[in-house]
């Protein structure tokens, strides 16, 4: 029996990047990569747009878009467990 902790399968860089570009305002890409707190923050910002006439939603959209691009270019290249994203 091995006492090593099993590693989860590497997350896809392409999937994370596209989630960031298209659904980044909702934090979906962060949830996918295991960064739950950041994902919740982005989701809350997006939902706050209901009462701020879309200002915080726009900020969350830009934030998600930028992160999606950073993931696709390799600047963000690890998940929350420190495991490299696969191509």
pLDDT in tens, 26-56: 999 999 999 999 999 999 999 999 999 999 9
54 domain residue, yes or no:
yes
32 domain residue, yes or no:
yes
17 domain residue, yes or no:
yes
Q: Which pLDDT score is estimated for 14?
A: 98
Q: pLDDT band for position 6 (50/70/90)?
A: low
- What's the chain's average pLDDT? 94
Provide the domain limits for residue 44: 13-73
Q: How many domains does the chain have?
A: 1
Residues whose CB falls within 8 Å of the CB of residue 41, separated by 6 or more in sequence, listed in order: 27
58 domain residue, yes or no:
yes
Q: pLDDT band for position 8 (50/70/90)?
A: confident
7 domain residue, yes or no:
no
Record the pTM: 0.88
23 domain residue, yes or no:
yes
22 domain residue, yes or no:
yes
52 domain residue, yes or no:
yes
């Amino acid at each position: 029996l091995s006492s090593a902790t099993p590693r989860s399968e590497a997350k896809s860089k392409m999937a994370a990047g596209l989630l960031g570009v298209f659904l980044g305002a909702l934090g979906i890409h962060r949830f996918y990569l295991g960064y739950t707190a950041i994902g919740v923050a982005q989701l809350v910002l997006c939902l706050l747009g209901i009462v701020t006439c879309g200002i915080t939603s726009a900020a969350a959209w830009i934030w998600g878009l930028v992160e999606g691009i950073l993931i696709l270019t390799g600047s963000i290249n690890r998940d929350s467990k420190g495991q490299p994203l696969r191509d």
